[in-house]
Amino acid sequence: MPRAKIGTGAGAFKALGGLSNSILRAVQDMKFSGPSPIQRRAIPVLLGGQNLLAMARTGSGKTAAFLIPIIEKLASHSRVVGARAIILSPTRDLALQTLKFTKQLSKYTDLISVSVVGGESINSQFDSLATNPDIIVATPGRLLDIIVQGTTNLQRIQAMVFDEADQLFEQGFAPQLTEICHRLPPIQATGSSDQQGVQRVIQIVLCSATLPLQVTNFVKGVLGPRMLNAEVVRLDADTRLSPDLQCHFFICQSELKFAALLLLIEKILSQNEQIMVFTCTKYHVEYIYNLLQCNHISSTYIHGSLDMQAQKKHLADFDSKHCSVMIATDIAARGLDIPLLDSVINFDFPSRPKVFIHRAGRVARAGRKGTAYSLLVMEELPYFVDLCNFIGRNSSLVKPLIINRQDNSNQENNDNIQQSQNNSDFQVGSFPPLMLSMFADNISTVIQENTHQALEMKSLQRSVSNAFHKYRRERPYATSSGVRGAKEMLHRSANVININEGLKSSMIKEQEDNKDEDGLQLDESDDEDEIELDDENDDQKNMINKEGNKSAVNKEQDKEDINNEIFDEKREWGQGVIGIHPIFMDYVTDPKYSQYQQTPQSIAEQSQIISDIHNFRPQ
């Protein structure tokens, strides 16, 4: 039988050295264009038998980086009973996706791989273990249950992987991980030979996007000597975004945020993309889902209160492209890996830069282009500045432009648009005011309809409001530099050209604030319904910035300064201090949109305009 020809992508893996033809053929079938940076660094280390601590952002190719060497090392199925590699994952979904990936990479071998995860029948998993698997992909709790019941043991383990280690500890698996490690063969026995005379040394691989204290203590205290002389590969470690990622930031009034989301989704869907929307509570998830359904946008959702079967169905609907939009909370979305995802939208801007990076890391993976869109209200602008400072990017506001109603080819506008599009800085722009207003009117009309989704939206309105108030109180403060930077951004844009009037306007009082600005935290009324936040804030409670210990008097003074001087949302955004974002300028400068500015539209005409936007193509 002639040897299969190795393609260009697989050839790049072959250049790493030490990989068999069976692995290279599988890599070729999976259409890898070549090894990612983490794979180029990690694969030779693991093939050389060293332990590895790998730090890289989500979507960097960490899974293949440890799977390829493990499959190469195991080579073929062993008739001797006992698993030889265990991969521990923080969530059931991530474990199942890793299992699928394992089977794809080992398709030209006779290795047997199974999953052992919670949420599924333990009896069926006993049956899987009876096949004498070589590789077990597991969640810690269920694996420990299986071990305690005597169905499997770790005496023949050659490789142990802790995948997404930071999430393993965030989800409270420290006791199970410790117990599993204590059940590994004693260190003095790891160099002994098995029945076939093969030397067995347990290779430890720990992959993590971040390195929190819990992980460090685990490595030092539990793994201890097992991790001696481990190679540390730190690449794009949670402070960088993919070079294939585009980021767009939009500001709007808080009461127009749902309208802004709807307008943005319509804009993105005109490009036939799949979108994941992140929001802060499960009530927001359900409200947005019903809003999209009312507007005939196919969508599904994931949050922590869904049972396992519902989550599987919703994920399958999205994965098979039966719907275009997935709405999720951060915690519910952990472990979900959707390879063909095109865009993410941050409906609520993350209060921590690393959360933004984790969300954005779900797109622009493995050489594929992707986009992260973020909605901002003015009180979130300091968090945006914190993000820019964290990843080393400059921040600015899109300059407002004169819209000449008689001559939409205004050269100054075109030059400014081109400059904005070529700018590598992170820029905050606004939405076209008329479009945003029409979408807001549309939502008000839809809610009054007597449909199931409209009734659901009405019933959720109070819960959404109360849940958001609680979320605001419990999220971490922005840093002092973030607040200062937000003020400076707006002061730099204080004297700008008004879009509709073409007049110079001073939108912000020229007043120097010499006080020590602190993070942004707005208090709300305490007489709220008891709201469950889908555990979104469990981590946040432990991360409140120490700067938040300021006196209540100073906080209130800062709050008043911020609201009155800088973050007054009552001004007409897009008509003053912040210009329309470049991705919407094709609409604003197109004659078809321009004619909408001439006179107020009736409700019927506005509805027609909204229905046209999805298919609208600028001339």
**What pLDDT, on a 0 to 100 scale, did the predictor assign at position 339?**
65
- Report the phi/psi class of residue 127: left, alpha or beta, with left for phi > 0 and alpha for psi in -120 to 50: alpha
Determine the 3-state secondary structure of 129 from DSSP: helix
Tokens of 467: 């849940």
User: Are 45 and 177 contained in the same domain?
Assistant: yes
Determine the 3-state secondary structure of 533 from DSSP: coil
CA distance 438 to 419: 29
pLDDT, mean of residues 508-522: 34
Domain's final residue, options 234, 256, 280: 234
Q: Mean pLDDT over all residues of the chain?
A: 77
CATH number of the domain where residue 396 is located:
3.40.50.300
What residues have CB less than 8 Å from 521, skipping those under 6 apart? 472, 473, 475, 477, 548, 555, 559
Residue 165, in any domain of the structure: yes
Residue 407, in any domain of the structure: yes
User: Are 409 and 262 contained in the same domain?
Assistant: yes
pLDDT, mean of residues 484-507: 52
Q: Which of 318, 323, 379 is nearest to 348 (CA)?
A: 379
CA distance 195 to 152: 18
User: Are 310 and 394 contained in the same domain?
Assistant: yes
Residue 78, in any domain of the structure: yes
pLDDT, mean of residues 192-201: 50
CA distance 73 to 96: 22
User: Are 202 and 279 contained in the same domain?
Assistant: no
User: Are 200 and 318 contained in the same domain?
Assistant: no
DSSP assignment of 483-527 equals: HHHHHHHHHHTSEEE-TTT--EEE-S------S----------S-
CA distance 381 to 489: 10
Percentage helix, strand, coil for the chain under 3-state DSSP, each rounded to 5: 45, 10, 40
Residue span of the structural domain in which 201 resides: 36-234
CA distance 211 to 169: 11
CA distance 225 to 126: 33
Q: Which of 362, 432, 440 is nearest to 594 (CA)?
A: 432
Residue 28, in any domain of the structure: no
Cβ-contact 503, 497 below 8 angstroms: yes
- Provide φ and ψ at 23, rounded to 5°: -70, -45
CA distances from 12 to 6, 25, 101, 414 (A): 10, 12, 20, 43
User: Are 349 and 416 contained in the same domain?
Assistant: yes
| Confidence check: pLDDT of 188 > 60 | no
Residue 440, in any domain of the structure: yes
Amino acid at 43: I
Tokens of 346: 């941050």
| Confidence check: pLDDT of 538 > 60 | no
User: Are 251 and 227 contained in the same domain?
Assistant: no
**What pLDDT, on a 0 to 100 scale, did the predictor assign at position 543?**
39
**What pLDDT, on a 0 to 100 scale, did the predictor assign at position 243?**
82
CA distance 197 to 67: 25
Tokens of 424: 């590598």
**What pLDDT, on a 0 to 100 scale, did the predictor assign at position 49?**
92
Domain's final residue, options 234, 257, 291: 234
User: Are 172 and 313 contained in the same domain?
Assistant: no
User: Are 432 and 456 contained in the same domain?
Assistant: yes
CA distance 250 to 399: 13
Domain's final residue, options 212, 234, 256: 234
Q: Which of 102, 106, 110, 150 is nearest to 126 (CA)?
A: 150
CA distances from 398 to 184, 323, 416 (A): 58, 33, 9
CA distances from 141 to 86, 148, 173, 446, 456 (A): 14, 11, 7, 46, 37
| Confidence check: pLDDT of 235 > 90 | no
Query: 271 pLDDT band (50/70/90 cuts)?
Result: confident
Residue 14, in any domain of the structure: no
Greater confidence (554 vs 514) lies with 554
**Burial 243-253, CB ≥16 within 10 A → b, else e:** eebbbbbbbbb
CA distance 452 to 450: 7
This prediction's pTM: 0.62
CA distance 564 to 51: 56
**Burial 272-297, CB ≥16 within 10 A → b, else e:** ebbbbbbbbbbbbbbbbbbbbbbbeb
pLDDT, mean of residues 68-78: 96
Cβ-contact 180, 140 below 8 angstroms: yes
State the angle between helix axes of 257-269 and 603-613 in degrees (0 to 180), rounded to the nearest 10: 50
User: Are 175 and 220 contained in the same domain?
Assistant: yes
| Confidence check: pLDDT of 2 > 70 | no
User: Are 221 and 256 contained in the same domain?
Assistant: no
Query: 114 pLDDT band (50/70/90 cuts)?
Result: very high
User: Are 251 and 157 contained in the same domain?
Assistant: no
Q: How many domains does the chain have?
A: 2
Q: What is the pLDDT of residues 128-187, one digit of tens each?
A: 999 999 999 999 999 999 999 887 889 999 999 999 998 899 889 999 999 999 999 887
Residue 4, in any domain of the structure: no
Tokens of 493: 């844009």
Q: Give 586: exposed, middle or buried? Use CB within 10 Å, 0-12, 13-18, 19+.
A: middle
Q: What is the pLDDT of residues 443-495, one digit of tens each?
A: 988 888 878 888 888 889 999 999 999 999 999 999 888 898 888 887 776 53
pLDDT, mean of residues 591-599: 53
Residue 22, in any domain of the structure: no
Greater confidence (480 vs 540) lies with 480
User: Strand 159-162's sheet: what is its strand order?
Assistant: 113-116, 135-138, 85-88, 159-162, 203-208, 52-55, 231-234
